[in-house]
């Protein structure tokens, strides 16, 4: 959710997994690069790409899994295993209309302001 006073402009989305960086949005990564998740059919998803503007009071649902409890649990357990192994990292760097830079990542539950 963009709670700022202006649009959030995506500067760089990034996914790292297994020592490799993926130039994919989260949905593409999940369905094309992670065999454990390729059978899960998301309920909804949105692409996040460089240059994308997210308007004030808008949100982007990167992926929504709720077709069945089994699919949700498979997704959740797989992502939790990736995170606990230290083998998975996801971040989005974005800027405000004032030039402030922020990072949203798997390292924190809230955005962190960058220098």
Within a domain: 44: yes
1 is a domain residue: no
Residue 30 in domain: yes
Which residues are paired to 22 by β-bridges? 15
Strand (E) positions, 5-100? 8-17, 20-22, 44-45, 53-54, 63-64, 88-95
pLDDT digits (tens, 9 = 90+) for 17-76: 888 998 888 888 888 888 888 777 776 777 888 888 888 888 787 777 767 888 888 888
Q: Determine, yes or no, domain membership for 28.
A: yes
> Rounded to two decimals, what is the model's pTM?
0.77
pLDDT confidence of residue 2: 65
Query: Which of 79, 103, 86, 93 minimizes the C-alpha distance to 29?
Result: 79
As a whole number, mean pLDDT of residues 89-96 equals 91
List phi, psi (to 5°) of 80: -65, -40
- Angstrom distance (rounded) from CA 60 to CA 62: 6
Q: What is residue 80's predicted lDDT score, i.e. its pLDDT?
A: 87
Domain of 99, in residue numbers:
8-113
Q: Is residue 2 part of a domain?
A: no
Contact present, 88 and 82 (Cβ < 8 Å): yes
Domain count, the chain: 1
User: Is residue 82 assigned to a domain?
Assistant: yes
């Amino acid at each position: 959710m963009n709670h700022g006073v202006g649009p959030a402009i995506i500067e760089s989305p990034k996914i790292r997994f297994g020592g490799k960086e993926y130039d994919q949005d989260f949905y593409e990564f999940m369905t094309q690069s992670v065999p454990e998740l390729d059978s899960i059919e998301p309920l909804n998803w949105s692409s996040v790409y460089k240059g994308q503007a997210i308007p004030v009071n808008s949100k982007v649902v990167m992926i929504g899994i709720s077709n069945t409890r089994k699919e949700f649990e498979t997704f959740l357990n797989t992502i939790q295993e990736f995170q606990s192994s230290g083998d998975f990292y996801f971040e989005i760097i974005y800027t405000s209309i004032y030039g402030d830079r922020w990072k949203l990542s798997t390292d924190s539950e809230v955005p962190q302001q960058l220098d």
